[in-house]
Amino acid sequence: MSQAHDAVDVIRTKRDGHELSDSQIDWVIDAYTRGTVADEQMAALAMAILLNGMNRREISRWTNAMIASGERMDFSSLSRPTVDKHSTGGVGDKITLPLAPLVAACGAAVPQLSGRGLGHTGGTLDKLESIPGWRAGLSNPEMLKQLEGVGAVVCAAGEGLAPADRKLYALRDVTGTVEAIPLIASSIMSKKIAEGTGALVLDVKVGSGAFMKDPASARELARTMVDLGADAGVKTVALLTNMNTPLGRTAGNALEVRESVEVLAGGGPADVVELTVLLAREMLAAAGFDGVDPADKLRDGSAMDVWRRMIGAQGGDPDAPLPVARERHTVVATADGVVAVMDAYDIGVAAWRLGAGRARKEDPVQAGAGVELHAKPGDEVRAGQPLLTLHTDEPERIERALAALESAVTIAPEGSEPEVTPLVIDRIA
């Protein structure tokens, strides 16, 4: 039990730009989780942290206090090493779906605790729930059994992991303190460390469709999380990846599952394949599998075999037809030229308005809703050629989705060379 403090004193310490002591941090997280520190007091502290920051010791201690608020999982009984991946979220980011079975096919165990979408970014669990019968909720013994037998599991985090984070996350969402880098880093890493993975690869998205819009803040977040991993004894690497343009050619739940299956079948969009293989290489290196090339496992069908077993183990039917939206609307090019910009944020908002995302945690999502891209930056197009197809069950949603897309696509004159950002911007280890 941590030493008792006074909530107002803790708030004042950070408000006035001073460091919080270890005992202040331990006490305030524990007292907030138990309900003896009020929401408005924690909101004030979160704002003070947003404005004045925290140093490495404070963030590490804060993260440990969040882990200590709940249970820790233990994968030491498994016959293979564990490695996980976390993405900070983007538009069309379906990478977990092909990546988890691919890395498992190479010999590692992948315990992927995932979340649901909120706002313009999609959630992995929502995508997988478009597969008939698939369930997200597994007990810890079920998870362990599947990791040993199949090698990969994608499921919802249990209530027992870092309950302080769940409470604080909801508070940050409604108090304008989501953007505080110490709080983002500790939120992500407390869950990942409590999950018990041996190694971790972070995919920190940068650009219009990402949470971090500029490389400098993304680098700061990545560095903070890599340091937290190191302090906790979890080998952690971060890649900064481009999210100015959606990943692949789909944004939406069933649409992205279909595209992921194409990647596992040896096809799919080049950017999705490239990032899946790059992240798989990082994960395998972190888990100690040197010399295994994941590209081979995509080619020979073994990643697809693991996918089918992974979906089946969670009650899903990998052969069942995926849901298809009832209504479609095509957006065409207004001029001849070269696609210069296809803005990830605008396309994410359009997919959300079509029913693929949610505004509040309790909102339902449409499995078949979303946006399909028929061109990407650098592609030549002709006037009248399809650029995007909108999918929804409710035709009345199309107008608002079109409003979000008004400035999403820029077509440059023929012969121009649009600036194309590389997929991977930086690596932080």
Which residues have CB under 8 Å from 39's CB, separation 6+?
Answer: 171
Q: State the catalytic residue, choosing from 116, 120, 191, 353.
A: 191
* Sequence-ordered alpha helix ranges (H) in 89-246: 96-105, 124-128, 140-149, 163-173, 181-194, 215-231
Strands (E), 246-336: 250-252, 327-332
Report residue 199: phi and psi, to 5°: -145, 160
Q: State the catalytic residue, choosing from 84, 126, 165, 231.
A: 165
Tell me which amino acid residue 268 is: G
Q: Which 8-state DSSP code applies to residue 214?
A: S
Look at residues 261, 298, 309 and name the one whose alpha carbon lies nearest to residue 146: 309
Specify the residue for token string 């990942």. Answer: 192
Specify the residue for token string 């013994």. Answer: 141
Radius of gyration of the chain (CA): 22
Q: Which 8-state DSSP code applies to residue 109?
A: B
Q: Measured between alpha carbons, how far is 166 from 162 in angstroms, rounded to an integer?
A: 7
Q: State the catalytic residue, choosing from 14, 85, 86, 297.
A: 86
Q: Which residues pair with 426 in a beta bridge?
A: 240
Q: Measured between alpha carbons, how far is 13 from 52 in angstroms, rounded to an integer?
A: 10
Q: State the catalytic residue, choosing from 94, 116, 172, 281.
A: 172
Q: Measured between alpha carbons, how far is 177 from 229 in angstroms, rounded to an integer?
A: 23
Q: Measured between alpha carbons, how far is 50 from 61 in angstroms, rounded to an integer?
A: 17
Q: Measured between alpha carbons, how far is 42 from 20 in angstroms, rounded to an integer?
A: 14
172 belongs to the catalytic site? yes
Look at residues 213, 324, 255 and name the one whose alpha carbon lies nearest to residue 92: 255
187 belongs to the catalytic site? yes
- Residue 69 C-beta-side C-alpha neighbours within 13 Å: 29
Q: State the catalytic residue, choosing from 87, 187, 190, 260.
A: 187
Q: Which 8-state DSSP code applies to residue 258?
A: H
Residue pair 160/143 in contact by the 8 Å Cβ criterion: no
Q: Give the SS3 label for residue 188.
A: helix
> What positions carry a catalytic annotation?
86, 165, 172, 187, 191
